[in-house]
């Protein structure tokens, strides 16, 4: 299909998985000599489905999106490499006789695999790219970044299932190394103090307290600076890492200790102290591009354009500023309210709907906030009220599933929702917040009894 087309339109999602998917697909197309245009979509709204259906390109290739909307496409031919749950209408109704549309649909669910843990959109896109040309294995690293961006690396073994295909290709080529280490964020770019202070899981006694972090590192005989430069975690010698790691693990409870350690993926061709050297930091950088309507910059980075990095760093700084000012606003103005079994706040138009979920998640990790209740956050969005729900892992272990709660409660008030057990979201009509909260409160209570 691809070889027979001269021009290709790529449509992809704006998050790290979507951006890496687009980079893999675009590179594969370019290498085949195809003219290729990339369109980023925050979600497949009617507007984008219409764009796809009326596209004048010979072929539309949708990555990290599309499976949920199979029955709405009329464009012919199409390729979809995605990992979201396929449109049930399409699976049930379709026969070869009533469909004249050629959709090549590559999705782990069609092969009995799980799309939320075993394969991300970039992995599915990568598998096709590798099939097209084995030389495309140099794109394997990007698929690993996409999988980390979609938080598919959190099991004890790290990446599992189909995601191990790009992982081992990248390792075989010498593009990536894997080390069992702390899973905390910021191994290349954060100072040691920040690395400990803002770690998830929070380290008792060190979270939110930089002077305690100083004392702790001193007691571990680790110097903070190398000349004038702050050392980062990956600057530490193996012996230093061992000492600090053990010191940290001693302070954690069993559950946090188990998830604090795991495989960590390093893109060794990138220079030290670069956010592109650590898969999680790379993914976070791409996510921050997407959240500020600048997925194109993320795409340029993935395709090797070094000049795009400065732009991305600006995005990221703006991202951090927005999050920290949003966080202090919620704290200082005491916006968080309680019900029987949930906490919630309404940010109105003062927090972007694309970051309100991050703020909610960070509140759960902030001293002075309860972790034994999920938190629900509202923010205004173009098509109603955006809802983000976050919970501590301990609640999920007790049976909480925010995905089903968001879906059911949103549908009760005429909206839609879904996601993961620990982090989920919904969009609901304006004015329905109270009814929605009543329903969520009841369902959380029922699940946690």
Site string for Mn ion, 393-422 (x = CB under 5 A): ------------------------------
Closest distance of CB 84 from Mn ion, Å: 7
Query: Nearer Cβ to Mn ion, position 83 or 407?
Result: 83
Q: Closest Cα partner for 371 from 284, 215, 255?
A: 255
Q: Closest Cα partner for 150 from 17, 21, 262?
A: 17
Query: Nearer Cβ to Mn ion, position 64 or 240?
Result: 64
Q: How many residues bind Mn ion (CB under 5 A)?
A: 4
Residues 403/365, Cβ–Cβ less than 8 Å: no
Closest distance of CB 350 from Mn ion, Å: 28
Q: Rounded to whole angstroms, how far apart are CA atoms 26 and 34? A: 9
Site string for Mn ion, 303-322 (x = CB under 5 A): --------------------
Closest distance of CB 82 from Mn ion, Å: 8
Closest distance of CB 158 from Mn ion, Å: 17
Residues 255/154, Cβ–Cβ less than 8 Å: no
Helix residue ranges, H only, 231-378: 238-251, 254-260, 279-291, 295-302, 308-332, 356-364
Q: Which of 14, 17, 374, 410 binds Mn ion (CB under 5 A)?
A: 17
Closest distance of CB 121 from Mn ion, Å: 4
Query: Nearer Cβ to Mn ion, position 121 or 425?
Result: 121
Site string for Mn ion, 64-103 (x = CB under 5 A): x---------------------------------------
Closest distance of CB 152 from Mn ion, Å: 9
| Residue 390, φ and ψ in degrees, nearest 5 | -135, 150
Contacts 24+ apart (CB under 8 A), 210-215: none
The verdict on 121 binding Mn ion (CB under 5 A) reads yes
Closest distance of CB 148 from Mn ion, Å: 11
279-291 helix and 308-332 helix, angle to the nearest 10 degrees: 80
Helix residue ranges, H only, 156-207: 164-172, 192-197
Q: Which residues contact 441 (CB under 8 A, 6 or more apart)?
A: 339, 340, 341, 342
Listed ranges 116-124, 175-183, 282-290, 358-366: which one lies at the site for Mn ion (CB under 5 A): 116-124
The verdict on 441 binding Mn ion (CB under 5 A) reads no
How many CA atoms within 13 Å lie on the side-chain side of 354? 16
Q: Rounded to whole angstroms, how far apart are CA atoms 17 and 422? A: 19
Site string for Mn ion, 164-203 (x = CB under 5 A): ----------------------------------------
Q: Rounded to whole angstroms, how far apart are CA atoms 15 and 9? A: 18
Query: Nearer Cβ to Mn ion, position 152 or 197?
Result: 152
Residues 144/155, Cβ–Cβ less than 8 Å: no
Closest distance of CB 67 from Mn ion, Å: 11
Listed ranges 13-21, 23-31, 211-219, 288-296: which one lies at the site for Mn ion (CB under 5 A): 13-21
Query: Nearer Cβ to Mn ion, position 207 or 290?
Result: 290
Listed ranges 29-37, 94-102, 119-127, 420-428: which one lies at the site for Mn ion (CB under 5 A): 119-127
What are 64's two structure tokens? 């990290």
- DSSP state letter for 43: S
Residue least distant from Mn ion (Cβ):
17
Residues across the chain: 449
Q: Rounded to whole angstroms, how far apart are CA atoms 191 and 120? A: 31
Site string for Mn ion, 31-70 (x = CB under 5 A): ---------------------------------x------
Query: Nearer Cβ to Mn ion, position 17 or 392?
Result: 17
Q: How far is CA 429 from CA 146, 329, 354, 375, in A?
A: 32, 25, 17, 20
Closest distance of CB 118 from Mn ion, Å: 12
The verdict on 256 binding Mn ion (CB under 5 A) reads no
Q: Rounded to whole angstroms, how far apart are CA atoms 105 and 9? A: 16
What are 437's two structure tokens? 């909260």
Q: What is the DSSP pairing of strand 176-182 with strand 261-267?
A: antiparallel
Q: Which of 87, 118, 150, 281 binds Mn ion (CB under 5 A)?
A: 150
Residues that bind Mn ion (CB under 5 A): 17, 64, 121, 150
């Amino acid at each position: 299909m691809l070889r027979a087309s001269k021009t290709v339109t790529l449509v992809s999602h704006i998050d790290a998985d979507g951006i890496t998917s687009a980079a893999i697909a675009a590179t594969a197309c370019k290498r085949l000599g195809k003219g290729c245009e990339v369109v980023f979509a925050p979600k497949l709204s009617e507007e984008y489905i219409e764009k796809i259906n009326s596209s004048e390109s010979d072929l539309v290739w949708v990555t990290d999106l599309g499976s949920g909307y199979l029955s709405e496409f009329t464009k012919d031919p199409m390729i979809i490499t995605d990992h979201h749950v396929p449109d049930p209408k399409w699976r049930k109704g379709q026969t070869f006789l009533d469909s004249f549309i050629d959709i090549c649909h590559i999705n782990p669910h069609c092969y009995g695999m799980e799309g939320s843990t075993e394969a991300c959109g970039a992995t599915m896109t990568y598998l096709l790219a590798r099939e097209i040309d084995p030389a495309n294995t140099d794109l394997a690293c990007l698929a690993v970044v996409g999988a980390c961006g979609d938080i598919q690396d959190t099991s004890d073994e790290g990446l599992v299932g189909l995601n191990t295909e790009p992982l081992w290709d990248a390792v075989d080529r010498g593009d990536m190394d894997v080390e069992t280490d702390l899973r905390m964020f910021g191994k290349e770019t954060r100072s040691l103090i920040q690395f400990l202070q803002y770690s998830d899981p929070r380290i008792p006694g060190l979270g939110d307290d930089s002077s305690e972090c100083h004392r702790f590192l001193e007691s571990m005989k680790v110097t903070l600076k190398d000349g004038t430069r702050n050392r980062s975690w990956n600057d530490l010698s193996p012996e230093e890492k061992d000492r600090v790691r053990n010191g940290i693990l001693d302070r954690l409870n069993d559950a946090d200790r188990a998830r604090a350690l795991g495989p960590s993926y390093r893109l060794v061709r990138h220079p030290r102290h670069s956010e592109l050297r650590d898969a999680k930091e790379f993914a976070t950088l791409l996510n921050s591009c997407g959240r500020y309507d600048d997925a194109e910059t993320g795409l340029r980075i993935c395709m090797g354009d070094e000049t795009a990095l400065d732009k991305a760093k600006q995005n990221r700084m703006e991202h951090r500023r927005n999050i920290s000012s949003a966080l202090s606003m919620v704290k200082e103005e005491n916006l968080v309210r309680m019900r029987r079994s949930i906490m919630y706040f309404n940010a109105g138009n003062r927090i972007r709907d694309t970051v309100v979920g991050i703020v909610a998640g960070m509140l759960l990790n902030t001293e002075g906030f309860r972790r034994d209740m999920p938190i629900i956050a509202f923010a205004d969005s173009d098509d109603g009220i955006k809802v983000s729900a976050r919970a501590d892992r301990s609640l999920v272990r007790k049976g909480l599933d925010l995905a089903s709660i968001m879906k059911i409660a949103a549908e009760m008030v005429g909206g839609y929702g879904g996601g993961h057990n620990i982090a989920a979201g919904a969009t609901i009509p304006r004015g329905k917040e109270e009814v929605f909260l009543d329903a969520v409160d009841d369902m959380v209570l029922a699940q946690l009894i």
